[in-house]
Structure 1
Amino acid sequence: MDEMRKLRQSISNLDKALIRLEEALMEDTNNSLIVDGTIRRFEFTIELYWKTLKRMLQAEGIESKTPRETLKEAYQAGWLQNDHLWLQMLKDRNETSHTYDEETALRILKNIKSYFPEMKETFIMLKGKVEDDDRL
């Protein structure tokens, strides 16, 4: 039962992170602090996504170790619609975590804006799955 409580908490944390990312995406991206903050919120949100998916997979008896493996398993489970897009999100998150220059930041910011609808749609589906699961 403790794992199910943790899963619900993961969904709640992910919900809050998406709201904060959406807030950042509505700000003036001509300000470098906004760009940096938006990218940081994206990094945090992607971390929560893969960890939440990993926890959901564990509840189904599926083990995954890495973020990439978790996304692939979630795609196989039918929880992600576009595995290539999610793997690109992970690549962008890794790139921003390890290198930083303004050109890269602006390119990734543009990507984040295009990713957000998929992120939000996926969250709605995952939240519904957790809420509808009678084991939870």
Structure 2
Amino acid sequence: MERVKERLQVARKALITLQELASKPNFTVLERDAAIQRFEYTFEAIWRAAQTFLFTMEGVAANSPKSAVRSSWQAGLLDEISSQAALRMCEARNMTVHTYNEKLAQ
């Protein structure tokens, strides 16, 4: 249970840093790139927290972000709308990590 708490704390801290930057009305190119980076590490922290929670509390092994989202929905941790949004975030994260496209970044 301690590991779950640690992972959740890391995820909360990461989310706060993303929200701080995302609340700015206009981004410079550097801030935009920082926001993309923060999104990536926040996403990673949150899915890892979900993975640890699911394994510890539900006995479910979720070995990928998408399986963590689906398992969270099946366990009742996410509603359908939230799980669909989370799956879209999985796709967005994959796009930011595996490709760099200036138009996509904007």
TM, length-normalised to structure 1:
0.71
Corresponding residue of 1:96? 96
| 1:72/1:83 contact within 8 Å kept | yes
1:20 aligns with 2:24: no
1:63 to partner: Cα distance = 1.3
Q: Which runs of 5+ in 1 are unaligned?
A: 107-136
Pairing of 1:65-80 with structure 2 (within 5 A): 65-80=63-78
Aligned length: 103
Q: 1:79 to 1:48 in 2, by over 3 A?
A: same
1:86 to partner: Cα distance = 0.5
| 1:27/1:34 contact within 8 Å kept | no
Higher RCO (CA 8 Å, separation ≥ 6 residues): 1
1:35 to partner: Cα distance = 0.5
Q: CA RMSD in A?
A: 1.2
1:40 aligns with 2:37: yes
CA distances 1:55-88 after superposition (whole Å, capped 9, x unpaired): 1111121112111111100011111222211110
Equivalent in 38, 52, 55 of residue 52 of structure 2: 55
Equivalent in 6, 13, 16 of residue 9 of structure 1: 6
1:30 to partner: Cα distance = 3.4
Q: Which amino acid aligns with 2:20?
A: E
Q: Which runs of 5+ in 2 are unaligned?
A: none
Q: Which amino acid aligns with 2:34?
A: G
TM, length-normalised to structure 2:
0.90
Paired with 2:100 and 2:72, the residues of 1 have a C-alpha distance of: 29
